[in-house]
Amino acid sequence: MFEVRDKDLAGRIGRLKTRHGVIETPYLFPVVDPRRQEVSLDELRSLGYNAIITNAYFLWKNRREEALNRGIHSLLGFDGIVMTDSGAYQVLQYGSIDVSPREIVEFQSSIGVDIGVILDLPTGASKDKKYAEHTVKETLRRARDASRIAVQGETLWVLPIQGGRFLDLVERSAAEASRIPGYSIFALGSPTPLMERYVFSLVVEMIHRARIHLDPSRPLHLFGAGHPMLIPIAVAMGVDLFDSASYILYARSGRYLTEHGTHRLDELSYFPCSCPVCSKHSPEELREMDAYERTRLLALHNLHVVRRVLGEVKQAIREGRLWELVEAYARSHPALYKAYQAMAGKGSWLEAMDPRVKGIVKGIFLYDCLSIMRPEVTRYRLFIKNTYTPRIPKDRILVLLPGDPEDKPFTASSIYYEARSLYGEAHYVFYTPFYGVVPQELDSAYPLSQYEAPVNPCRSVVREMVRDIGSYVERFQSAYKGIYAAYSPRLKWSLNACRSLSAKYNVRCVKL
């Protein structure tokens, strides 16, 4: 049903099989409102959207008999994959709707939807923990009640995870939901109010708390997350599916989506995009159009941007550079950078989720203090700390040398050759920002020579490097009968590191 084809961090490229076709994840379902839809379903298909989402409650309320007689695909005139939401968003808006949880589940099953959602009780932005706990319990009760229907037929059923800002409740909801049979997809509910206020860091925490308890063989959906700027970091944290009406709602209010933010059409002099809409029209031309056509074209542009970001994310997963993509997006908005900080704080978990071997291998980019949390770096530092044993030469001399990030591999650098002329066949161990300790025999192993980094990085990275050197010396000091260290004036951090070694371990510092 769900097959993972590639991975990077907690993100996956996968294939979700339904009775009307296959969805390649990560994927965003455009929300379709049959009552008013400026972008036709044929246009959505032509843009590459083979799956859509619509509201089962609206159909139940307004076109129930027609939907039951014709089926959802005939009613919409769409032969692709149709997902329906149950009306929970209307519950969040109005407090209740005039259909029972069981009725709306049976209705979705009867009209032949490919993916259906039970009628959960959303937590929303509630700050009342007692109420939030009620939403978790009630949603789980409804999920158990609907399980009998969910295990039957060909419809894939979605079980929403509630708890909102209360992360312990999100964990509880996810842990209990994972034990209920019949559900093919999990979804994180109630993020929309937080995303509207740009509280992206809390959304990252919610995704993490849910993902750690959910079966990784089943995809995770993030409700209402349609802004392209949020997609890379959500995928990196383990989200596979999205849905959103933002593409059309923004268009109706004259807003223009980009990968890094939103612009008002009235404020644009040029389009920073080359999609078919932007390459054929200017902002002024769109402003002069009638409202319907302007909305339609803006919506088409917005859909192009989402597709472009999804493609960019998939390629980053394939190349093992999803972290770098998130870093690049994070600098487009302070709230997104805060979310990136939250993601970096999950470095150990991401390292466990991240594949150790990939088909396509690319050199990695290390930028600032948070880059040290990349899985490749974390994994290597843990290997040195917990597993590595040095090959001690006969003369048992250790020489610590600064590794210049711009002169790799370190064993081909001028510093190395100069040191060899002084110390001969010693054991040479390089110290360098981000990776910490790099023994000469590992120097060419990926990614110790396949990376780019600033020559003089931030202080916290240097402090971590000094700690790594100290840890190495403490572990193996007794195996060597002599320890020497060198520094380079060009590498400002190397003198401080050398002095620290000298003070703590009685190591003599030599300038190279």
Domains of the chain by residue range: 2-349, 366-511
Give the DSSP H or E segment for 235. Answer: helix 231-236
Supply the residues annotated as catalytic: 85
> Is the pLDDT assigned to residue 297 strictly greater than 90?
yes
> Is the pLDDT assigned to residue 36 strictly greater than 90?
no
Residues paired with residue 486 on neighbouring β-strands, in sequence order = 510
Mean pLDDT to the nearest integer, 62-68: 94
pLDDT tens digit sequence for 189-222: 878 778 888 899 999 999 999 999 999 999 999 9
pLDDT tens digit sequence for 362-418: 789 999 999 999 999 999 999 999 999 998 888 889 999 999 999 999 999 999 999
pLDDT of residue 92: 63
The whole-angstrom separation of Cα 183 and Cα 188 is: 14
Per-residue DSSP letter, 333: -
pLDDT of residue 195: 82
pLDDT of residue 9: 97
How many other β-carbons are positioned within 10 Å of the β-carbon of residue 150? 24
The whole-angstrom separation of Cα 72 and Cα 85 is: 13
pLDDT of residue 319: 92
The whole-angstrom separation of Cα 238 and Cα 77 is: 33
Question: What are the tokens at 502?
Answer: 């000298």
pLDDT of residue 359: 66
The whole-angstrom separation of Cα 336 and Cα 430 is: 35
The whole-angstrom separation of Cα 404 and Cα 402 is: 6
pLDDT tens digit sequence for 138-173: 999 999 999 988 888 899 999 999 999 999 999 999
pLDDT tens digit sequence for 475-506: 999 899 889 999 999 999 999 899 988 888 87
Radius of gyration, alpha carbons of the chain: 27
Mean pLDDT to the nearest integer, 298-322: 96
Residue 69 buriedness (CB in 10 A; 0-12 / 13-18 / 19+): exposed
> Is the pLDDT assigned to residue 360 strictly greater than 80?
no
pLDDT of residue 126: 85
The whole-angstrom separation of Cα 197 and Cα 495 is: 46
Q: What's the sign of the alpha-carbon dihedral 370, 227, 14, 170?
A: positive
Contacts of 131 (CB under 8 A, 6+ apart): 123
Question: What are the tokens at 79?
Answer: 């032969």
Q: What's the sign of the alpha-carbon dihedral 465, 468, 474, 476?
A: negative
Mean pLDDT for all residues in the chain: 93
Per-residue DSSP letter, 20: T
Mean pLDDT to the nearest integer, 252-281: 96
Helix boundaries (H) for 331-389: 334-344, 347-353, 375-386
Q: Which fold has domain 2-349?
A: TIM Barrel (3.20.20)
User: The pTM is what?
Assistant: 0.93
Q: For the chain, what's the residue count?
A: 512
pLDDT of residue 96: 66
Quick one: what percent of the chain has pLDDT higher than 90?
81
- Structural class in CATH, domain 366-511: alpha beta
pLDDT tens digit sequence for 79-125: 999 999 987 777 666 566 788 899 999 999 999 999 999 999 999 88
